[in-house]
Structures are given as structure tokens and as C-alpha cells.
Structure 1
Amino acid sequence: MIPKAAQMLGLAMRARKVISGEELVVQAVRTGQAKLVLLAADASANTTKKVRDKCAYYGVPCVTAGDRYALGHAIGKEGRVTVAVTDGNLADSILRLLT
């Protein structure tokens, strides 16, 4: 994961604009809260398919960013596989850095 993107993700976490955990992220995508979903490269095939399919159906950008430890470290939690950003401006900034 790019250090600047990790910093932005940490900022979003401190602003309480981050949802982490597979089920909570999928629920946020369904309800329209999620503006960007970050998926760990080492997520299981089942989780990857489930999250990518939900994001594609609801039109939410989904980006693979680092492994579970990099994502967890960026938000200050232990090993997260999926993370959703709920603020549009922060999501756009992170997406620009990662693509």
C-alpha cells in the first residue's frame, strides 16, 4: 500500500469515516454508505468474489490495496481484509492515490 494512501486512510479512520470487517462493509455497500472499498490482496477467494460482486452491482469502486496487515496497520486495527470509506472526498483522494 502506498504510504500517502495509508495516511489518508488513517485520517479517515480518525474522522470516523471508515467501516471495517467483511459483513459490515457489505452492509455499507448495500445501504449506499460506502464510497470506496479497499480489499486486501490476500483475502480468500470467497470474500473477494462476494465483495467485488456487491461493489459491481451497487456501483462502488473496489480496489485491491496491500495485504491484510497493511490495511489493518493503516487504520490501527489488527489484520483487516475489507475496509470501506464512507466520506466521498476522502474516498476520491484515496482512489486517486491508488490508481
Structure 2
Amino acid sequence: MMKGQWTSLLGLANRARKTISGEELAVKEIRSGKAKLVLLAKDASANTHKKITDKCNYYSVPYRLVEDRYILGKAIGKEARVVVALLDDGFARKMLMLLD
């Protein structure tokens, strides 16, 4: 997996205001059907990991694990972030291509 490419794409999606970060906001977007793809840091707590993956599975939202919270946060120009949801089909599809 090319780290540079997916983080650049996430940065672009963020600038286009097509991302949401943080556990509670992500869960809300998953429930509402707006989240098209969820990125979850591998170093998320077991509790957060379960909550997010359960929600994604229940609402049929794809998710991918990424290295850690610092890479995820840095990609969207913030401090550490454990969960980032993409709210755009195009960005989500391209991201899945880069991460799979």
C-alpha cells in the first residue's frame, strides 16, 4: 500500500469538505447513510474498534484499517484521529482502490 497516495487523497477529500472525523460524528454519518467509507486507525481502542466495525457491518458501510491515528490525523491536517469517514462516493471508490 502506498502511504503517500491514500493520505494525499484523504487530504484532498478533506479540503473538499467530504470527510468527517471523530468517533461520534462518524457513527452519526454511518447511521444516516452519508458515510461511504470509514477509515479506522489500527491503534484505536478495542472498544472504538468494535463500535465502528459493528456499525459499518450493520449499515453495510465499507471500512479499512490504516496504520495509526497520527497518519490519519496528519492526512487531514489535524492532531491524531482514530476514525475518519468519507462522505463522497467518488473519493470512497478511489480510496478503496488505493487501500486494497
Q: TM-score, normalised by structure 2?
A: 0.97
- The residue type equivalent to 2:52 in the other structure is V
Coordinate RMSD, CA, aligned: 0.8
Corresponding residue for residue 39 of structure 2: 38
Q: Does 1:84 align with 2:80?
A: no
Q: Does 1:12 align with 2:8?
A: no
| Identity over aligned pairs, percent | 60
Whole-angstrom distance in 2 between the partners of 1:44 and 1:62 = 16
- The residue type equivalent to 1:21 in the other structure is G
Q: TM-score, normalised by structure 1?
A: 0.98
Shift of 1:66: 1.4
Q: Structure 2 unaligned segments of length 5 or more: list them.
A: none
SS at match of 2:56: helix
- The residue type equivalent to 1:45 in the other structure is A
Runs of 4+ in 1 over 6 A off after TM superposition: none
Whole-angstrom distance in 2 between the partners of 1:11 and 1:71 = 13
> Number of paired residues?
99
